[in-house]
Amino acid sequence: MDPSSVLEQTTQDVSNLPSEFHHILNEIRSLDTEIYDVRKKTSMKDSQMQKYIKQNGSLSVYSKEEEFTDKIRDEISHCKKLQMKKCTMANTALFLVTKHLAKLEKSIIILEEDGLLAPLEDETD
Amino acid sequence: SADVVGGPRFRHRKISVKQRLRIYKPNDLKNLDQEELQQRVAADIETGVEKNEEKEVHLHRILQKSSGQLSIQKKDYIPTPDASETWKEFGQFYQGNFDEPASYIKFSATVEDCCGSSYIMDEVDDTFLSEQINNKKQPLLSEDEFELLCSSFESAIHERQPFLSTDPQSILSLDELKPTIIKSDSNHQSLKISLAKDIGFSAEKPIVTEFDAESQSKVRSLTFLLEKFGDQLYEHWKSRKIESSHTEIFPKLKFERPDEKEEVDPYVCFRRRDVRQPRKTRRIDILNSHKLRALHEELEHAQKLALLVAKREQVSLNLLEKELQVFDERGEFKKLKRALSIKEDDELLINPKSRRLNIFA
């Protein structure tokens, strides 16, 4: 083991990482737009219901209350599913980079123990 | 017609305008020998398969024969595999959906990353699990948990006793092995737990990535499983390990040992003969050390940003969950209010003004 072989190995390991990040973040964005569109509809319905309460109080029933309630529930649940997908994707990106980082740090420790790695450059230099 | 068949390789030339071409009229064609016509075509056209496929053993033989202009009449043919039958249980074993992403797939995870536990139960394990452990009505140990325990035994023994096959009876007891099992990070599980903590989970729960099957999330923690089922399962696994040839429970590929050349055994595969020579100096490799440190730093930055993104998505999820909860509770509240005709507290049913700053507004 020496710095050049570790460098070579790590460079190869992470060579596809930038494009993977790009891909994952792009997918997150496209899901985000999808969520945004659904949420816009939801909040419109919700505010319509709230406006009715403001004017007439909660004891009288809004004519479309049942229909709206079901729809809003469905929409938020759908968004939640999409959001969980986003979380999984973000976690994957984090996991990938952390795994490579952990592997590299392990190698650095071994190299340092063998005295094969030049020490960190002083910040003040 | 023998010279028309030509050599093994016919080089395509552009048709020269100066060259005279013989023209057949339609009524001539009838008079042409069918065989001759075919050979004409064969001579003018390349074999039609890709260059590397011409080397296919049967095709190669045929091409050579025709080039050699041999008059052996024995027919050569290229054997083809028959249409494979369908497998009845396919639908049972291949389940799930793959949603096509908007952009092309980018991927570099290995097969091992996507396989979950390395240990896979076979029929013997299945009988043992259902008859010895789960003999009561309620299953105590799931198959995934069984496999998690066995793969951790497997990797721990591999680490502590790499030469177990020389004396299988000397296999360590579970108590001796436990520290190694707990310390080992099979399948990056502890990495995933610590990342979950970084994101902000309070419970000791690993993060879920795209490489994890949904069923894996129900698996209980290794330490808990060890405490509860470790002894019983270890005895089973140990006896299998000792009885197996070369102390490998499952069939393995055969590899060449390092520094050895094995040429006779047909089962030896994927030989690696390249050896990296160490540098002939004791000096520290300053240039590559600095490059390595720089790469380390960049990876750290990347990790920080990835953590922030993961946190952001988690907060968004929590927000959505809360929103759904608030919505449901408002519904319940309304019902109660109407049943009891209570007029107060309507403001709890309406979003306060400040929420208008919300991104969704």
- Using a CB–CB cutoff of 8 Å, tell me whether B68 touches chain A: no
Q: Which of B321, B74, B112 is nearest to A80 (CA)?
A: B321
Is the per-residue pLDDT at B166 higher than 80? yes
Do B209 and A91 count as a contact with CB atoms less than 8 A apart?
Answer: yes
Q: Which residues of B touch A54 (CB under 8 A)?
A: 346, 350
> Following CA atoms B84, B86, B89, B91 in sequence, which dihedral angle do they give, to the nearest 10 degrees?
120
Q: Which of residues 204-223 of B touch A (CB under 8 A)?
A: 207-211
The whole-number average pLDDT for the span B180-205 is: 83
The reported pLDDT for the residue numbered A121 is: 66
Give phi and psi for B254, each to the nearest 5: -100, 125
- Residue B17 is classified by DSSP as S
B-chain CB neighbours of A125 within 8 Å are: none
Task: Single out the residue of B208, B320, B205 nearest to residue A31, CA to CA.
Answer: B320
**C-alpha gyration radius of chain B:** 35
Question: Over 90: is that where the pLDDT of A27 sits?
Answer: yes
- Residue B91 scores a pLDDT above 90: yes
pLDDT at B44: 44
Look at the block and give the residue holding tokens 């002894």: B231
pLDDT in tens, B239-286: 999 888 777 899 999 988 877 888 889 999 998 877 777 777 777 888
Look up residue B55 and give its amino acid.
Answer: K
Average pLDDT, chain B: 82
Contacts of B217 in chain A (CB under 8 A): none
Per residue, what are the HEC states of B228-255?
HHHHHHHHHHHHHHHHCHHHCCCCCCEE
CB contact under 8 Å between B108 and A27, yes or no, is no
Residue B192, classified by CB atoms within 10 Å of its CB into exposed (0-12), middle (13-18) or buried (19+), is buried
**Residue range B308-323, pLDDT digits in tens:** 999 999 999 999 999 9
pTM of structure: 0.78
**Mutant choice from A65, A74, A94 vs B, greatest count of B C-beta within 10 A:** A94
Average pLDDT of B172-188? 85
Query: What one-letter code names the amino acid at B23?
Result: I
Window B:105-124, CB contacts with A under 8 Å: 105-109
Q: Could B302 and A117 be called an inter-chain contact, meaning their C-beta atoms sit closer than 8 Å?
A: no
Ranking A8-12, B137-141, B165-169, B233-237 by mean pLDDT, the lowest is B137-141
| Chain A residues touching B338 at Cβ < 8 A | 58-59, 61
Rounded to 10°, the helix B143-160/B174-183 angle is: 100
**Does residue A72 belong to the interface with chain B, where contact is any CB pair within 8 Å?**
yes
Choose from A23, A75, A86, A91 for mutation: most chain B CBs within 10 A.
Answer: A91
